[in-house]
Structure 1
Amino acid sequence: MMAIIHSLLLLICLWICPFSIAFSQELDLIKYKLWDIKDTLQWSDYTFSDLNQDLEYGFQAKAVTSLAHIYVPGVWHVDSCMNVLVAFRKRYSFTGDTTHADLLAHESIHFDIAEVFARYLRKELLNLSESSNNNLDEYLTLRNRYFKEATNYQDLYDQETVYGLNTKEQRRWASHIKAELKIWEDYSFENTLLQCNSLVNNK
């Protein structure tokens, strides 16, 4: 069994409108790969080189998912808006086989699932911003809730697909996640950014 380690980073960014695009532009793309429907995950994105520690366990796949909230300089107040970035941490991710296309497809769905839950969360965050709710605890409660749900869903995906070995289940999951991305397209990072800008400008 081939060991695959991938690390997904969910970044929650708080900003005032002028800072809204700066964070995504400044993210180190050598270390991170932002989720992009036009730029799918490739084996070349797995750049961690020390395989010794984890290969011995013989895992087909192992997810290491992290969460961080980033505050762009500014004062928290009712004119603030929040967005979520989903990033793949290249230097915490490795593979011992760059020829396994089916396994790469399985791992790519993990990345897509992270984006799906980011879209769920973006909608909730926008709803709070639209109501001029400036209680940071409520935002953090939502963050924790969706992070936990996303983690459980990632585990369910691995269980039902047997880490991609069950091809029928793998196809079903791929179709389902593709549909979810389409249904929640209004809450992609870029579309949420537009809504945040409009919301802040109209206050």
Structure 2
Amino acid sequence: MVYNYILWLTIILFPGRATVSQSETTDNNKIQWSLDRKLSWADFKGSPNSGSQFSAESSLQISYGLKIREESGVTHYSFTVDCYFEKSSSWVKDGKKTDKLLKHEQLHFDIAEYFARKLRREFENNSFNIDNYQSKSAKIFNKNFAEYQSFQAAYDAETHHGTKPEPQASWEERVKTLLRKSKAYKKSQSL
């Protein structure tokens, strides 16, 4: 499992007016997480790692961007956070394309979305200024990333990479509940 976190930091300064730029990718190599869009084996376009003990690997990215704008002498900081599946770096070995394994990989993607929501919540519930926005956002990001890595590792360990049906089902319910409870943070605001 590849657990990528991408720092995407864009600073836009336009005194006195709001600006908008799209955070959604037009890159055909990436799938932005969506409740309505589930992974299929056709999305795994990377070359399998023949030396890996694993049957499949999902490359996941969580990125954040920042917009700074000044309005009436007040500086506003807003963040956008996105969660992606990267097709070209994700792979599955021949003969291993089972529904059970695909559900396991989908849950890795769902876990990444949950941690993207946690990151959105943290950014929203903190205040930033010109002196601390870089260090404070990096600290929040790094803390979230460490929790994310531990959570993903625990998921793989407890489910034995999806081969144990009971723990897999338990994790599916757990993540479904976490996503439901964090639905207020499911969508980034556009920059």
TM-score tier (shorter)? 0.7 to 0.9
Q: Which amino acid aligns with 1:167?
A: P
Name the residue aligned to 2:113.
115
Greater strand content: 2
Contact 1:12 1:85 in 2 (8 A): no
Name the residue aligned to 2:19.
18
Change (3 A) 1:125 1:75: same
Structure 1 unaligned segments of length 5 or more: list them: 198-203
State which drifts further: 58-67 or 110-119.
58-67
Contact 1:6 1:89 in 2 (8 A): no
Greater helix content: 1
Structure 2 unaligned segments of length 5 or more: list them: 13-17
Q: Which amino acid aligns with 1:19?
A: V
Normalized against structure 2, the TM-score is what? 0.80
Name the residue aligned to 1:55.
50
Tell me by how many angstroms 1:68 deviates: 5.0
Percentage of identical aligned residues: 27
Is 1:85 the counterpart of 2:82 in the alignment?
Answer: yes
Contact 1:86 1:118 in 2 (8 A): yes
Tell me by how many angstroms 1:84 deviates: 0.7
Q: How do 1:2-151 and structure 2 match up within 5 A?
A: 8=4, 10=6, 14=10, 17-20=18-21, 22-24=22-24, 27-48=25-46, 50-51=47-48, 54-62=49-57, 69-70=64-65, 78-97=75-94, 99-128=97-126, 131-134=127-130, 135-136=132-133, 137-151=135-149
- Which structure has the higher relative contact order (CA within 8 Å, separation 6+)? 1
Distance in structure 2 (CA, Å) of the matches to 1:111 and 1:23: 19
How many residues in Structure 1 have an aligned counterpart in Structure 2?
180
Deviations 1:50-88 (A, max 9, x none): 33xx2233324556555655456x679831200210011
Distance in structure 1 (CA, Å) of the matches to 2:20 and 2:35: 24
Change (3 A) 1:153 1:7: closer
Determine helix, strand or coil for the equivalent of 2:36. Answer: coil
Name the residue aligned to 2:186.
188
